[in-house]
Chains A and B, each alone.
Chain A
Amino acid sequence: DARVTQTPRHKVTEMGQEVTMRCQPILGHNTVFWYRQTMMQGLELLAYFRNRAPLDDSGMPKDRFSAEMPDATLATLKIQPSEPRDSAVYFCASGPTGMNTEAFFGQGTRLTVV
């Protein structure tokens, strides 16, 4: 049963610390999305990649957030330094190329910055 795997599922960290969230996309999927969800803002698209290259990261705060795909099986989202306002659930999704294809979401990483 193919699925998008996100680690860790939960993370509590202190303000100022670096946070790294990881995502393993479904094998063969070459499009990867990162989303953030809060009660106030809903689901926000932070960035997405095609064939490991960033296509659009305009939704991401550039000063502290970075997203990469070191290889086709791993996508990372880093926050350095973290702030309490970064507390949210972060979702990764993957899909094949094309408008006529569905994207599958992971279960998310719940981040709490204290």
Chain B
Amino acid sequence: DAKTTQPTSMDCAEGRAANLPCNHSTISGNEYVYWYRQIHSQGPQYIIHGLKNNETNEMASLIITEDRKSSTLILPHATLRDTAVYYCIVRNNDYKLSFGAGTTVTVRA
């Protein structure tokens, strides 16, 4: 599986956009980028995924660079409930979802 690199932690002010970076320089052409988050004591929650194009849903936006070696998850208006560990995952054709350490995001009032 292609490896991902994320910052260990980041803080964000409530109401501001949170931009979470992820590097995946060894990604292959048919591998998708997935983002999940895990709020304390809960199961991981799907956020968004993409292949090449930027994606947006009701939770977040995903910006993938043209060379696909990195991506950014954007939470447009962070709330206290967005405090969680965010995981960037590269998924290949064996369908596995392999989680790394993720980024611990703390949203502060």
Q: A residues near B, CB below 8 A?
A: 4, 31, 33, 35, 42-43, 45, 48, 50, 55-56, 91, 93, 97-100, 102-108
Nearest to A35 among chain B residues (CB) is B99
List the 6 closest A-B pairs by CB distance, nearest first. Answer: A105-B43, A43-B99, A102-B46, A105-B44, A107-B43, A91-B43
**Is B43 in contact with A99, judged by CB distance below 8 angstroms?**
no
With A91-B43, A99-B32 known as contacts, the answer to whether A45 contacts B98 (CB < 8 A) is yes
**Is A106 in contact with B43, judged by CB distance below 8 angstroms?**
yes
Can you name 17 A-B pairs with beta carbons within 8 Å? Answer: A43-B44, A43-B87, A43-B99, A45-B96, A50-B95, A55-B95, A56-B94, A93-B43, A93-B97, A99-B31, A102-B34, A102-B46, A102-B49, A103-B97, A104-B46, A105-B43, A108-B42
How many residue pairs bridge A and B at CB < 8 Å?
55
Q: How large is the interface on B (under 10, 10 to 19, 20 to 34, 35 or more residues)?
A: 20 to 34
B8 within 8 A of A: no
- CA distance in complex: A100, B43 (Å): 20
Distance between A46 CB and nearest chain B CB, rounded to angstroms: 11
Query: What A residues does B100 contact at CB under 8 A?
Result: 42
| Given A43-B99, A105-B45, A107-B43, 7 new contacts (CB under 8 A) | A33-B97, A45-B96, A50-B95, A91-B43, A93-B97, A99-B92, A107-B42
- CA distance in complex: A105, B36 (Å): 10
- CA distance in complex: A36, B46 (Å): 17
Contact of A108 among B43, B95, B97, B98 (CB under 8 A): B43
Distance between B37 CB and nearest chain A CB, rounded to angstroms: 11
